[in-house]
Amino acid sequence: MTPDRPFLGVMLMLAFCVLAPLGDSIAKLLGGVVALSVLVFVRFGVQAAILLPIVALRGQGFRLPAGILLWTLVRTVLHILGIGLMFSALRYLPLADALAIAFVMPFIMLLLGHFAMGEYVGLQRMVACAVGFVGTLLVIQPNFVEVGYPALLPLGVAVVFALFMLTTRKVARALDPIKLQAISGIQATVILAAVLVILPTTFGELSLQFDASTWGLLAALGLIGTFAHLFMTWSLRFAPASTLAPMQYLEIPFGTAIGWLIFSDLPNGLAAVGICITVGAGLYIILRERRLASQSANAPAAV
């Protein structure tokens, strides 16, 4: 077990918030020329290629603690699904809008805790969830009018990454982040290789005949994605999720800036209002949860 070091955890999450939308922007650039299955396969293949030698040189080996293998496999499958859904969404939606819709995740985590795990959720948090969903619908509406059902893909991203974050927190303290990401890269590469062999054209025309610039962007996608999620995993190793969750909303302004610089995309008026509502409601829930947890921790013990 590693003791919490909140400042280091926050700085690592900040690095993730910068790198993640940058990687998404590269995926958006490549979406029109590279099949989805190839895009995701290269993303995880580069991760495995980078981290496997590092793990070997450090002499760590790849043996996992008892009970962790299944959780790492679940985490890997969730990671593949989440990235695949996000890359699909980015083929249709502006970067900032896709990120904002996906940030319905805190509300989904709260509702999952209530309905699936029997946790108590009070009236104020339910109201905040409802407000957050309204904000998300305001972002979805103009995109749905323009592109149809693909505007709903980021909702799938939110559900999957809510589960991914919970799973990551469970295994991040038991494994070194580099080793965890290396194993995840191996698992994902094997799974996706099987998909490419069994269903070669299901997710787009299977081709590896790219020019040098496309290969360069693919390599950059793998590098940025690897280090982004390494930083995220590291951050959860050093700080609790309740501390880091508000930081993740920085992805939206960073994504908006990157989307404007690369694609000249900015949210329209309705979507911008929805983004503000969603962020505000999400931060309210996160900060309220932190305050309640602090009050509970500081309450005098019963005698």
Tell me: the pLDDT tens digits for 11-21? 888 899 899 99
At residue 48 the predicted structure's pLDDT band, cuts being 50, 70 and 90, is very high
Tell me: the pLDDT tens digits for 231-269? 887 887 787 766 676 677 778 888 888 988 998 887 877
Give CA–CA dist 182/167, Å, rounded: 16
DSSP for 289-302 reads HHHHHHHHHHSPPP
| 271, pLDDT greater than 60 | yes
| 99, pLDDT greater than 50 | yes
* Predicted pLDDT of residue 180: 84
| 230, pLDDT greater than 70 | yes
| 40, pLDDT greater than 70 | yes
| Residues 179/54, Cβ–Cβ less than 8 Å | no
* Predicted pLDDT of residue 121: 64
* Predicted pLDDT of residue 70: 87
The region that residue 211 occupies, defined by phi over 0 for left and psi between -120 and 50 for alpha, beta otherwise, is beta
| Residues 194/37, Cβ–Cβ less than 8 Å | no
Angle in degrees, CA 156, 162, 166, rounded to 5: 150
- Output the CA–CA distances (angstroms, integers) from residue 122 to 110, 125, 136, 246, 262, in the order listed: 11, 6, 21, 20, 42
Indicate the pTM of the whole model: 0.79
Q: In percent, how much of the chain has pLDDT > 70? A: 84
| Residues 150/89, Cβ–Cβ less than 8 Å | yes
CB neighbour list of residue 84: distance below 8 Å, 6 or more residues apart: 36, 40, 203
Tell me: the pLDDT tens digits for 167-208? 877 787 777 778 888 889 999 999 998 888 887 665 555 566
Least confident of 23-27, 117-121, 169-173, 283-287: 117-121
* Mean pLDDT calculated for residue range 207-234: 86
At residue 303 the predicted structure's pLDDT band, cuts being 50, 70 and 90, is very low
* Predicted pLDDT of residue 300: 58
Least confident of 139-153, 158-172, 287-301: 287-301
| Residues 192/37, Cβ–Cβ less than 8 Å | yes
Average pLDDT value for the chain:
81
* Mean pLDDT calculated for residue range 202-228: 81
State residue 75 phi and psi, 5-degree precision.
-60, -40
* Predicted pLDDT of residue 49: 92
- Output the CA–CA distances (angstroms, integers) from residue 302 to 111, 296, 299, in the order listed: 30, 12, 9
| 291, pLDDT greater than 80 | no
| 299, pLDDT greater than 80 | no
* Predicted pLDDT of residue 302: 44
Give CA–CA dist 87/72, Å, rounded: 22
* Mean pLDDT calculated for residue range 131-141: 81
DSSP for 142-189 reads HHHHHH-GGGGHHHHHHHHHHHHHHHHHHHHTTS-HHHHHHHHHHHHH
Could you tell me where the beta strands, DSSP code E, fall in the chain? none
Question: Which pair of structure tokens corresponds to residue 296?
Answer: 């509970």
* Mean pLDDT calculated for residue range 7-30: 89
Give CA–CA dist 237/218, Å, rounded: 29
Give CA–CA dist 95/103, Å, rounded: 13
